[in-house]
Amino acid sequence: MTINLVLIVISPFLMFFAGRLFGGFIGRLEYIILTLGFNCISFLLAANQFFLYASSPELMVENIDLGTWLKIGLLEITWSFEFSVFNLLMSMMVITITTLVQLYSYNYMENDPNLIKFISYLSAFSGTMLLLVNASDMVIFFFGWEGVGFCSYLLIGFWTTRIKAAKAAFKALLINRIGDFFLLMGLILLFKITGSWEFSSALTILPYVGYEKLFACNITYIDAISIFFLIGAMSKSAQVGLHVWLPDAMEGPTPVSALIHAATMVTAGLYLLLKCSSIIILSTFTMKLILVVGSTTIIISSLVAATQFDIKKIIAYSTCSQLGYMMVGIGYGNFVASYYHLISHAFIKATLFLCAGAIIHSLRGEQDIRKMSGLLKYYPFYYVVMLIASLSLSGLAFFSGYYSKEPLINASLLMGNEWLTLYVQWILQFFSFFTAYYSFRLIAILFYQEDTLPRLYSRNLNTKIPKIFLAVLTILSILSIIFGYLASDFFKYSFYFSHSLPDFSNENMFLFEEYSSLERNFPFLFSIIGIIVACFFYERVERHVSPYLLIFSSKMYFDSFYNSVALFILLRLKQVYFLIDKLFLEYFGPYTLHYVVNQMSFSARYIFSDSRTYTAKVGLLLGVQLVFGLILFYVWDIEFFNKAEQFFWFDSAKRTAESLARNSLLPPYGTDTLFPNGQMTSPKLLPYIDRDTYEWMYSFSYSS
């Protein structure tokens, strides 16, 4: 059992190392077959465990400890993983899309001499994502988080001869460093207040000790940690303000775009919030901030997507918009609905990107949709695929997006009548119009308008669709239709996720009988209107409305603003650098040091040139060093480090145990009724605290 679960995580890494070390000996076809075979094994193992956990409530979660990675005093970091229905469903989605993208890449990148390296990078990308998804230790989680960012840098800038790709890769890395810093701060605070690197223990303890003030400020640990996690998620999931890297990431190969937007990078931030939802829900301010961030992202991304002409950037801003919907769902506390749409949206977005990549591949790299009209007579299959994905994304009935998006939007009707809640309700419903509009605007230009292809393209156009493209797009199209319906009953019952997601408003998430059918169907009606406007009145809209939307076609000037800010900071830093380096460091540093060393060298040469006093002088220097060493030994005693370390751990443990004891959560030792199978299952300490953690807190509580 343990080996099967571990293989789910390590299989992609095995393929990465195999490709980088032995790719030149294996061969292209053999390597891709080997990679797909290992991916299929990982998927089957994950699916087997998923259905086992889903059918056996007593096996809802399983923890695996592979040993200690790092141990310094009382600090111990282990290679520990947690497998549950929540984790394994995400893992199955990542493995499925990665497998299809790698198969697609074999044909898409067939003329690239570095195909094996590209496939191996994709394996590392999915491996780090699986490490992030299944990690139980916060340090291992952060390792996977950083690995996803680094792999995205390698893949976005894979074509190293393209300057735009290199700049886009560096931009993605730089923007994500902002979120990484805040995530690290949140994890450190979480460890500081709970004394544990394990997510399960830390998230269980925090509600009882997290209301202390942070550094005498008027903010609690729970609020600070939640806000830090939110900023970290904003950078990874491309929310407004930190979203500028995502459209530029389209400079990389299209399979990379599909993998980033569907299964890895952008889902990592939302997964972080879902994983830590039990503490985020305790911070009212953070929940409201999430609503504001998500709704603002929906507005800006939808309007920008409706004015772009680069086929990949239209789909990229569409991703930002849909991530905003999921973020709003988290802000409302509808975690299961957000998770549902995250999985469903992954298949839809992979379909759109890979279909767009196939069109770009056929047109020799052209991405401007104004030069790609009239494709219906050349590629009817691509039209059908993109139509299915767009209908599903728009939330039309009987498609996957309808089943996942409807509960996410309509659940907002149950969230009260505050002004912020009403505002977000209106945004969610009305901007369904823009989702349908920019989706079918793309289809109208590509397939419905007259042929605008250059004669060179139209004469030499290869209308034959590669079999690999045909197979991959067919599978994804089917998933874009049926997944939402097949999974709807599963997501209705929140007890499948009771170990991972708080049971908050889930019982009402799919029940809207108290509202009129018109009110519940507003999103559907707005989507129909958006489709009609895009298909029949697109040219009029472009002629009369677009001149007033220049700010949106310029991407809201976010890039210009950041460039101006960066330039201003660099200019100020240049002045500060001149003052510090030229006027201070050089004159009081190297110049002065050079003068002093020269004088000392001259004096030393003069002193030691006399052989009669040489022995006495050397003995004097050794004596001075010995005295200096003794002083350091007694002043900087090694016990100082031990005492500092013990103080840090004892203080954290004591505060944790005292708080739990005050709430009658630590009864006298020996109450075995709380420990069936070695786990503490008190309803006040969900999901669980293991025996070692209990005894550790107990010893400090009753010994003090």
Mind listing the pLDDT tens digit for each residue in 473-517? 999 999 999 998 888 888 876 667 777 777 544 444 444 444 445
Residue 134 lies in a domain: no
CA distance 153 to 25: 27
Q: What confidence tens digit (pLDDT) does each residue in 344-359 have?
A: 999 999 999 999 999 9
Q: What confidence tens digit (pLDDT) does each residue in 630-653 have?
A: 665 555 554 544 444 444 444 555
Say what the pLDDT of residue 416 is: 65
Residue 122 lies in a domain: no
In which band, very low, low, confident or very high, does the pLDDT at 392 lie, cut at 50, 70 and 90?
very high
DSSP letter for each residue of 168-236: HHHHHHHHHHHHHHHHHHHHHHHHHHH---BHHHHHHHHHHHTTSBSTTSSSBHHHHHHHHHHHHHHHH
Say what the pLDDT of residue 506 is: 43
> From the DSSP assignment, how many helices (H) and strands (E) are in the chain?
31, 4
Higher pLDDT, 407 or 615: 407
For 682, residues 6+ apart whose C-beta sits below 8 A from its C-beta are 665, 674
Say what the pLDDT of residue 98 is: 93
Contact 99, 36 (CB under 8 A): yes
Q: What is the pTM of this model?
A: 0.79
pLDDT at 426 exceeding the cut of 60: yes
Tokens, residue 185: 């701060």
Tokens, residue 349: 């977005």
CA distance 311 to 357: 9
| Mean pLDDT of all residues belonging to the chain | 79
Tokens, residue 320: 């930002």
CA distance 522 to 138: 42
Q: If you average pLDDT over residues 81-98, what whole number do you get?
A: 91
Residue 669 lies in a domain: yes
Contact 392, 403 (CB under 8 A): no
Inter-residue long-range contacts of 59-62, CB under 8 Å, 24+ positions, other chains counted: 60/84, 60/85, 60/496, 60/498, 60/499, 61/499, 61/687, 62/1, 62/5
Among 95-104, 136-145, 212-221, name the one with the lowest average pLDDT.
212-221
Say what the pLDDT of residue 581 is: 63
Among 6-15, 281-290, 555-564, name the one with the lowest average pLDDT.
555-564
pLDDT at 31 exceeding the cut of 70: yes
In which band, very low, low, confident or very high, does the pLDDT at 325 lie, cut at 50, 70 and 90?
very high
In which band, very low, low, confident or very high, does the pLDDT at 701 lie, cut at 50, 70 and 90?
very low
CA distance 704 to 702: 5
Higher pLDDT, 500 or 448: 448
Say what the pLDDT of residue 674 is: 38
Residue 334 lies in a domain: no
For 75-106, b/e burial (b = at least 16 CB within 10 A) is: eebbbbbbbbbbbbbbbbbbbbbbbbbbbbbb
Residue 690 lies in a domain: yes
Say what the pLDDT of residue 668 is: 43
- Rounded to the nearest 10 degrees, what angle do helices 432-443 and 284-305 cross at? 30
Amino acid at 264: T
Q: If you average pLDDT over residues 70-84, what whole number do you get?
A: 79
For 213-234, b/e burial (b = at least 16 CB within 10 A) is: ebeeeeebbbbbbbbbbbbbbb
Residue 646 lies in a domain: yes
**Helical spans, DSSP H, in 609-689:** 614-635, 639-662
Among 327-331, 535-539, 564-568, name the one with the lowest average pLDDT.
564-568
Among 41-45, 380-384, 637-641, 668-672, name the one with the lowest average pLDDT.
668-672
Say what the pLDDT of residue 247 is: 86
Say what the pLDDT of residue 658 is: 55
For 384-399, b/e burial (b = at least 16 CB within 10 A) is: ebbbbbbbbbbbbeeb
Q: Quick one: what percent of the chain has pLDDT higher than 90?
A: 29
Say what the pLDDT of residue 564 is: 76
Inter-residue long-range contacts of 258-261, CB under 8 Å, 24+ positions, other chains counted: 258/97, 258/101, 258/104, 258/349, 258/350, 258/353, 258/354, 258/357, 259/97, 259/98, 259/101, 259/122, 259/125, 259/126, 259/155, 260/152, 260/155, 260/156, 261/315, 261/316, 261/319, 261/349, 261/350, 261/353
Other CB atoms within a 10 A radius of the CB of residue 415 amount to 19
In which band, very low, low, confident or very high, does the pLDDT at 364 lie, cut at 50, 70 and 90?
confident
CA distance 431 to 200: 37
pLDDT at 10 exceeding the cut of 70: yes
CA distance 48 to 445: 44
Q: CA–CA distance from 264 to each of 52, 394, 417 (Å)?
A: 25, 23, 36
Structure-token match 């900023």, residue found: 231
Other CB atoms within a 10 A radius of the CB of residue 466 amount to 17
Higher pLDDT, 364 or 530: 530
For 45, residues 6+ apart whose C-beta sits below 8 A from its C-beta are 4, 5, 7, 8
Higher pLDDT, 566 or 338: 338
Positive or negative torsion for Cα 185, 189, 192, 195: negative
Tokens, residue 7: 């293989």
Q: Quick one: what percent of the chain has pLDDT higher than 70?
A: 74
pLDDT at 688 exceeding the cut of 50: no
CA distance 205 to 199: 10
Among 35-44, 124-133, 276-285, 403-412, name the one with the lowest average pLDDT.
403-412
CA distance 650 to 643: 10
Residue 175 lies in a domain: no
Say what the pLDDT of residue 608 is: 54
Say what the pLDDT of residue 620 is: 60
Residue 332 CA from chain centroid, whole number:
20
In which band, very low, low, confident or very high, does the pLDDT at 101 lie, cut at 50, 70 and 90?
very high
Among 31-40, 246-255, 615-624, name the one with the lowest average pLDDT.
615-624
Q: Which H or E element spans position 63?
A: strand 61-72
CA distance 543 to 556: 20
Q: What confidence tens digit (pLDDT) does each residue in 283-309 have?
A: 889 999 999 999 999 999 998 998 888
For 569, residues 6+ apart whose C-beta sits below 8 A from its C-beta are none
Q: Which domain holds residue 655?
A: 639-703
Residue 189 lies in a domain: no
pLDDT at 3 exceeding the cut of 70: yes
Higher pLDDT, 673 or 149: 149
Q: If you average pLDDT over residues 567-576, what whole number do you get?
A: 67
CA distance 65 to 83: 11
Q: Could you give the number of structural domains in the chain?
A: 1
For 322-332, b/e burial (b = at least 16 CB within 10 A) is: bbbbbbbbbbb
Amino acid at 295: S
Structure-token match 């049971």, residue found: 503
Tokens, residue 670: 């020996």
Q: What confidence tens digit (pLDDT) does each residue in 152-187 have?
A: 999 998 988 888 888 889 888 888 998 999 999 999
For 361-379, b/e burial (b = at least 16 CB within 10 A) is: bbbeeebebeebbbbeebb
Other CB atoms within a 10 A radius of the CB of residue 662 amount to 11
Q: CA–CA distance from 254 to each of 108, 173, 250, 265, 425 (Å)?
A: 9, 19, 7, 15, 34
Say what the pLDDT of residue 557 is: 77
CA distance 506 to 411: 9
